[in-house]
Amino acid sequence: MAQTKVKRLLAHSSIGHVGYIRTGFSCGTIEGIQSLLIGIFIYALMTIDAFAIVLALRQTRVKYIGDLGALAKTNPISAITFSITMFSYAGIPPLAGFCSKFYLFFAALGCGAYFLAPVGVLTSVIGRWAAGRLPRVSQFGGPKAVLRAPDK
């Protein structure tokens, strides 16, 4: 199911992140709980940043993923910040999202969840495509919609 709205895509990625965080909870060890708390903290910071940028862009009528095409030309600081946040969501090293997932998956291996950790890595790799779509469109996509000032 292809998403066209930015906020809906971020909300759907939240479901996957809850699964990663639940990996730490399923261990039932100190390392698992520590990885869970670190994962929640990092995920909360990434989510606040991503939604703050999307809400700030809402004033310029950015609602759909295609609307991000003109972002790098019209607001390069927001485009770079949004791209870094989305790369962190995807778990690209050396960003905080990677460190969080790395710690969660190693906690799963440490507690003997030998099936859960590779499944988490596999879903993380698949999720990189969805999270990598937003920075790709915001940096390199053609301007499908011109960003305009809000009507008064």
Kindly report, residue by residue over 22-51, the tens digit of the pLDDT: 988 898 899 999 999 999 999 999 999 998
What is the 3-state secondary structure of the chain? CCCCEHHHHHHHHHHHHHHHHHHHHHHCCHHHHHHHHHHHHHHHHHHHHHHHHHHHHHCCCCCEHHHHHHHHHHCHHHHHHHHHHHHHHHCCCCCHHHHHHHHHHHHHHHCCCCCHHHHHHHHHHHHHHHHHHHHHHHHHCCCCCCCCCCCC
Q: pTM score, two decimals?
A: 0.82
Rounded CA-CA distance 131/43 in Å is: 14
- pLDDT for 146 beyond 50: no
Under the banding of pLDDT at 50, 70 and 90, the label for residue 97 is very high
pLDDT of residue 142: 54
- pLDDT for 114 beyond 80: yes
- pLDDT for 152 beyond 70: no
